[in-house]
Amino acid sequence: MCELFALSSRHPATVTFSLAEFSRRGGISGPHKDGWGVAYYREGDVRLIKDTGPASSSTCLHFIQDHPFSSTTVISHIRKTTQGSDTLRNCQPFARELGGAMHVFAHNGHLDLPELIHRMPLGTHRPLGESESESADGRSRMAGPRRW
């Protein structure tokens, strides 16, 4: 199962230490070596960095450590592939525009894709990847609140 790291704070904070420790779970102290990503909000938009390799050895993560950022909202995800190929489009977090604002989604766990398709048919939004997590993201944008 994948792992998530998130930060929500009143004032912008840096996550260099926390993200470094979290990234160790992506290939050194954990089996989650099939990709990773981090998204953070800055100036009313989202900056999204993703990689298909292990977070623990990613040059992108080293760049973030050398050039720290601060934000009030940060979401990071390390992946162990259960569905979909090891491609960027299946690495989380996913970012999409809705209503003139960028939204970020990350999911930890396993979803029953046939049941999801049955309960929430797709509208105009389509997932880019094959993972069940992104399929849920695209479906939730069309359906609004659901009672399960």
The catalytic residues are: 2
Single out the residue of 104, 115, 123 nearest to residue 148, CA to CA.
Answer: 115
**pTM, to two decimals:** 0.76
Residue of 99 and 41 predicted with greater confidence: 41
CATH top-level class of 3-105: alpha beta
Q: What is the pLDDT of residues 104-147, one digit of tens each?
A: 988 876 777 777 777 777 666 666 666 666 666 555 544 444 33
* Ramachandran angles phi, psi of 125, nearest 5°: -85, 135
Q: How many CB atoms lie within 10 A of CB 54?
A: 23
pLDDT at residue 114, as a whole number: 76
